[in-house]
Amino acid sequence: MTKLIFSVLLKFKKHRILKMPLVNPLDPNHDPETRELAEFFNETLGFCPNSVLTMQHRPAISKAFINLNKAVMANEGRVTSALKRMIAWVSSNATGCRYCQAHAIRAAERYGAAQEKLDNIWEYRTHPAFSEAERAALDFSLASSQIPNAVDVEIKERLYQHWDEGEIVEMLGVISLFGYLNRWNDSMATTLEDDAIDSGNKYLEKHGFTRGKHV
């Protein structure tokens, strides 16, 4: 059994990286209902993402996803729209999804995240631009996004020092949404849009950001 597991792991280790999308995105006008709902992304990103255009091969999925996205990302108060996008970035960075990293940092900028935070998000644990409440939220995102899951008593205690239960639910909604997106876009090798590439290069290139498979 041990030899079998090792051979399977070795096979995956030697896999060839996708050089093009697994499934091609459809025209934005393919499904009128998806097109109408996707206007939401004109505010968040400035364009309809290729991930949604791919989902509309099955319109029920694209529509359900957009509605979930709108619910999860709604600004209910202290967990601001900008913080939600920074939570999304930390989660996407933990899983290695370059597509979602670029989208999250772009959306954080568009929703008014402070320039100092955008420039130093890699150092959120130590940089003075981040509050202890934000550090607790971003560490929660990091711990939640790891396999095996790393949320523990310390993470819970730190969260409850700064946030109430409804706010923690909001945060985990973002983390879970991006768990779906990270799986979707890394498996699909979704092509990064030009504006997302610009944002990724602007804030993340100095730490090694590249498009990777998302070309």
Question: What are the tokens at 42?
Answer: 């004109």
Q: Mind listing the pLDDT tens digit for each residue in 47-88?
A: 999 999 999 999 999 999 999 999 999 999 999 999 999 999
pLDDT of the chain along its 215 residues, tens only?
445 444 444 455 566 778 789 999 999 999 999 999 999 999 999 999 999 999 999 999 999 999 999 999 999 999 999 999 999 999 999 999 999 999 999 999 999 999 999 999 999 999 999 999 999 999 999 999 999 999 999 999 999 999 999 999 999 999 999 999 999 999 999 999 999 999 999 999 988 899 999 99
Separation between Cα atoms, residue 33 and residue 29, nearest integer Å: 9
Question: What are the tokens at 172?
Answer: 């985990």
Query: Cα dist. 160→13, 117, 163, 164 in Å?
Result: 40, 23, 5, 6
- Contacts of residue 52, defined as CB under 8 A and 6 or more positions apart, other chains included, come to 34, 38, 41, 62, 65, 66
| DSSP assigned state of 178 | H
pTM here is 0.91
Domain spanning 79-207, CATH class: mainly alpha
Domain ranges across the chain: 79-207
